[in-house]
Amino acid sequence: MADPTRARKIADRIRVIVASTVEKRVKDPRLGFVTITDVRVTGDLQHASVFYTVYGTPDELAGTAAALESAKGLIRKEVGRGLHIRLTPTLEFIADAVPAAAAELDELLARAAAQDAEVAALAREAKPAGEADPYRKPREEPED
């Protein structure tokens, strides 16, 4: 088991190497506007999960996934050259769900803001059901 600090440093280095390789060496036309967001390495440094996002349509996302899978060998070779460790980790490319979750969260926040505005509009026009000041006040006793 590797030191967690070392695993984190290796994951950061893999992220930089993969991003550079995708930008400069992979010439697949299916590759869209891709961003490498995160890399997670197992404790034994044998496997790396590479998370990426793609700006564009779902078709472009599928094309980018296929391009990354076909270029996996080239990318792994570059990772091995750049890391200088005994065993080069296997790479797994995973589409990051953060943009979709962020869009869903934005939509929920917009819906909540619209409902808040609707409630505020109803509250402005509302009148009290009973007296204007419904709270009990201490009675003042007449002085003898």
Per-residue pLDDT in tens (0 to 9) along the chain, 144 residues: 668 888 899 999 999 999 999 989 888 888 878 889 999 999 899 999 999 998 888 888 898 899 999 999 999 999 999 998 889 999 999 998 887 888 899 999 999 999 999 999 888 888 777 776 777 777 777 776
- Give the Cα separation of 36 and 93 in Å (integer): 10
Residue 89 neighbours by CB under 8 Å, 6+ apart: 14, 41, 42, 45, 46, 47, 48, 79
Name the residue among 63, 50, 33 with its Cα closest to residue 96: 50
Residue whose token pair is 């506007």: 33
